[in-house]
Amino acid sequence: MLDVTLTEGIFKKSEATGLTFLLDLDIDRLIAPCYIAAGLKPKKPRYGGWESMEIAGHSLGHYLSAASIMYKTTKHPVLKERIDYAIMELSDLQAQSEDGYVSGFKRDCFDEVFTGEFRVAPFSLGGSWVPWYSIHKIYQGLIDVYHFTGLMLAKKVVYRLANWAERGLKKLSDASFQRMLICEFGGMNEVFADMYLLTNEVRFLELAERFQHQIILEPLSKGIDDLAGKHANTQIPKLIGTAKLYQITKKERYKKSVMFFYREVMDHRSYVIGGNSIGEHFGPSGTEPLGILTTETCNTYNMMKLSAMIFEWDQQSQYYDDYERALYNHILASQDPISGGKTYFVATEPGHFKVYCDKEDSFWCCTGTGMENPARYWTDIFKQIDDTLYVNLFISARVTLEEAAIQFQQTTAFPFDETVRLSVSSGNGIKLTVKVRQPAWISEPMTVAVNNQVVSSSIEAGYITIKRTWYEGDELTWRLPQSLHIYHNKDAKEKVAFMYGPLVLAAALGKEQYPETDIVGDHQIYNHHPLIHVPPLITDEPLIDILTCMDEETLTFRSLPVVGETGECYTFKPFFMIHHERYALYVDVLSEEAARTYTREAEELKQLLLLKTVDYVTPGEQQPETDHHLVEVHSRMGYVPSVDRHWRDAYDHGYFSYRLKTAATPLLLRVTYFGGDDNVYINDVMYPRLFDILVDGISIQTVHLQSEAPGELVERDYVLPEQLTKGKQHLEVTFQSRKQTVAGGIYGVRLLK
């Protein structure tokens, strides 16, 4: 493993902020759920947010990964103390169980699974919220501790935990195993592949392969894109595990799945900042819908892992073009430089703002991966493959090579300065090939000088190659010429993002109607916060002439005075520098002619809806349903590509319910249906879609769906009697079927004031 230390610059600063965030957390509180799960009294109270829910313990796993990866580069002694203590604690807790089980939640769900007869839904297994997903973080944390710090006890704990799973899962038939995989399971295929690499025990490799989710991987291996409507962060780790399994087994179909998936997501489903997903789901290929709940940060963390893994077998610069775009514009942008808080979704809705986790009551999935992000800045700057050192990212850092007594120092103030130096800080007479990545965004061909002499070098796979024997003081220098370039949204060409080199420049829009704080425990708080109007740029000038750089040191740009109705200018800054204010990643740019027919009608309707919405759930979507305490019996969910929406229904006395926030005014319940829904066959019996809507157990409406508007979504409003809502904080809204009837499908449930 390369030894890399960041020496200065924006990543070094962000790393320090990430370190403080880790040091501020208390291991006893992170480990408290593991005590409770083992039936013991914790030393300190558990944290709030997701650490007080069934998914608990995932943050401890992420913490272990983050701390050990950060320790490897910073050697910060307190991190090591924390890691040692946490592993000791986990080992003691593990010793309380007969078979090695240890995690942040009770084992009943797994015990149910191991019987072979178990309940399963996409986000619930054995009655618990994504248990494999959560425990996967503990496995990964233990493996990372062993890998990055060499702590033997971590290996022992993970070995026992792996034995526990292997023994339990042995009892499942292949069919039951695949059924279990319906529920999100993180990267369990990857950790068992790692267990094989750690122990050489084939049973772990076999188990890793059993965790291959065929229904997802098979179409991908045949080049079939069936991703629309799928929960994004459920799928990406499956492909990371598949990439690892390809490296071990060399099975071509694994490689095919990975390569196809990677390009489908990167090229056809990503936003300008390199992230993906809307409402946590993939949309149809080639779409880029703007919204508030877009680009979940975990997904980007995972896609970057995939870029790096693919690079191990296909050394082309494009993977680090993707990685770099995501690194600067999503990952670096996702940590609050002041509080160290992390984003969950990054809104692409023009005029929205970043919402960060707090240190007490969040512990979202993205808090976990967010802890790891700044710890990982060092991992991919350089890569060593055999006797070649790849320089992939232009970040000031020192690198010591494996098995070669040579150290390089890379020095640069990029992206604020275009010059990069790579010099030998120690080592003499070492033969080595250095390959420097030429980024795709470069505005003129790059040249490299060796000790101030420009060398003529061809570009191969996007890299400039310098092969020589190196001596202390030798220095490579190159420039990275950046320029403005334009990105068009995939759905609407007039939605434009401005880029400079790898950076997305966003319009900085200030604090109009800004909330008191954007550091919150509950990530849903600002989903219905008022938007502001972001006027279009109206000009016939070429797009490239719209922005002028005002300050090269901060890369601040100003637009022509063409902002919509007001004729003002926008200020654009690198997106990673925009915090605690509103922003627009995409701005509408209209020609004078197009502006004549421009209306704000759609925007005003959206704003009005946001202002009137008290709460909203999208049935069939994981996080909104979990956040609204879904309860379901005899219920199904699905996705309709033509309208790009999910649904949920229930049948045979089945039902499903959500807990919605309420307000002290008369309320309307707005339910969205599919206008083509009519009678449906279940087990060869025709069921009418006849059902009741109940609010806090009282029926407010009987509904019979009979294909009233084929092909489109329809909305129906129901007035809620005041006595039902008065003085309440929450309402329970239930969709109840009868004997041999179906309730739903329901596509949206909204409470309006």
Binding site for ligand AHR (CB under 6 A): 123, 130, 133, 184, 233, 280, 296, 298, 365, 622-623
* Adjacent-strand bridge partners of 730: 661
Residue from 585, 584, 576, 586 nearest 554 by CA: 576
CB of 589 to ligand AHR, least distance (A): 33
Q: Which one of 366, 464, 531, 589 is in contact with Zn ion (CB under 5 A)?
A: 366
DSSP 3-state assignment of 261?
helix
Task: Looking at residues 240 to 299 of the shown chain, list those that interact with Zn ion (rule: CB under 5 A).
Answer: 296, 298
Extract the tokens encoding 625: 């349903």
Given the rule CB under 5 A, which of 30-38, 74-82, 363-371, 438-446 is the region that contacts Zn ion? Answer: 363-371
CB of 522 to ligand AHR, least distance (A): 13
CB of 124 to ligand AHR, least distance (A): 10
C-alpha angle with apex 52: 48 to 55, nearest 5 degrees?
Answer: 125
Partner in contact with 499, chosen from ligand AHR, Zn ion, none, beta carbon below 5 to 8 Å by kind: none
**DSSP assignments along 648-669, one per residue:** EEEEEEEEEEEEEE--SS-EEE
DSSP 3-state assignment of 419?
strand
Extract the tokens encoding 398: 């020192």
* Separation of alpha carbons 86 and 158, rounded Å: 13
Give me the 293-332 binding string for Zn ion, x by CB under 5 A, dash otherwise: ---x-x----------------------------------
Q: Which is nearer to ligand AHR, 300 or 317 (CB)?
A: 300
Run of H or E residues at 568: none
Given the rule CB under 5 A, which of 250-258, 305-313, 361-369, 689-697 is the region that contacts Zn ion? Answer: 361-369
Q: Which is nearer to ligand AHR, 318 or 622 (CB)?
A: 622
Asked whether 273 and 346 are in contact (CB, 8 A), the reply is yes
Q: Which is nearer to ligand AHR, 190 or 474 (CB)?
A: 190
Helix then strand count (H, E) for the chain reads 20, 38
Partner in contact with 623, chosen from Zn ion, ligand AHR, none, beta carbon below 5 to 8 Å by kind: ligand AHR
CB of 185 to Zn ion, least distance (A): 15
Radius of gyration for the alpha carbons in the chain, expressed in angstroms and rounded: 27
Q: Which is nearer to ligand AHR, 298 or 587 (CB)?
A: 298
Q: Which is nearer to Zn ion, 296 or 372 (CB)?
A: 296
Partner in contact with 595, chosen from Zn ion, ligand AHR, none, beta carbon below 5 to 8 Å by kind: none
Provide CB contacts within 8 A for 422, sequence distance 6+: 391, 408, 409, 410, 411, 434, 436, 475, 476, 477
CB of 660 to ligand AHR, least distance (A): 19
Count of chain residues binding Zn ion (CB under 5 A): 4
CB of 296 to Zn ion, least distance (A): 5
* Separation of alpha carbons 130 and 403, rounded Å: 42
CB of 137 to Zn ion, least distance (A): 12
Q: Which is nearer to Zn ion, 232 or 401 (CB)?
A: 232
Q: Which one of 365, 519, 585, 630 is in contact with Zn ion (CB under 5 A)?
A: 365
Partner in contact with 184, chosen from Zn ion, ligand AHR, none, beta carbon below 5 to 8 Å by kind: ligand AHR
From first CA to last CA, the distance across the chain in angstroms is: 58
Q: Which is nearer to ligand AHR, 298 or 671 (CB)?
A: 298
CB of 366 to Zn ion, least distance (A): 3
DSSP 3-state assignment of 302?
helix
Asked whether 737 and 691 are in contact (CB, 8 A), the reply is yes
Q: Which is nearer to Zn ion, 333 or 366 (CB)?
A: 366
Axis crossing angle, helix 232-249 with helix 188-199, rounded to the nearest 10: 30
Strand order, beta sheet including 475-479: 3-6, 397-400, 407-412, 419-426, 475-479, 448-450, 453-455
Partner in contact with 6, chosen from ligand AHR, Zn ion, none, beta carbon below 5 to 8 Å by kind: none
Q: Which is nearer to ligand AHR, 29 or 137 (CB)?
A: 137
CB of 210 to ligand AHR, least distance (A): 21
φ, ψ (nearest 5 deg) of residue 745 = -70, 145
CB of 297 to Zn ion, least distance (A): 6
Q: Which is nearer to ligand AHR, 298 or 537 (CB)?
A: 298
CB of 399 to ligand AHR, least distance (A): 33
Q: Which is nearer to Zn ion, 55 or 585 (CB)?
A: 55
Q: Which is nearer to ligand AHR, 58 or 210 (CB)?
A: 58
CB of 55 to ligand AHR, least distance (A): 6
Q: Which is nearer to ligand AHR, 65 or 233 (CB)?
A: 233
CB of 188 to ligand AHR, least distance (A): 13
CB of 333 to Zn ion, least distance (A): 15
236 in contact with Zn ion (CB under 5 A): no
Place of tokens 């122990």: 199
Half-sphere exposure of 653 (CA within 13 A, CB side): 1
- Please give the C-alpha separations between residue 279 and each of 31, 357, 369, 602, 629, in angstroms, as whole numbers: 30, 18, 18, 20, 17
Partner in contact with 130, chosen from Zn ion, ligand AHR, none, beta carbon below 5 to 8 Å by kind: ligand AHR
Q: Which is nearer to ligand AHR, 281 or 437 (CB)?
A: 281
Residue from 493, 505, 565, 580 nearest 534 by CA: 565
- The residue number whose beta carbon is nearest to ligand AHR equals 233
Partner in contact with 655, chosen from ligand AHR, Zn ion, none, beta carbon below 5 to 8 Å by kind: none
Residue 458 CB-density burial (10 A; 0-12 exposed, 13-18 middle, 19+ buried): exposed
- Please give the C-alpha separations between residue 392 and each of 65, 320, 322, 439, 492, in angstroms, as whole numbers: 23, 6, 11, 9, 32
Asked whether 631 and 657 are in contact (CB, 8 A), the reply is yes
- The residue number whose beta carbon is nearest to Zn ion equals 298
Extract the tokens encoding 569: 């200018």
- Which residues lie near Zn ion (CB under 5 A)? 296, 298, 365-366
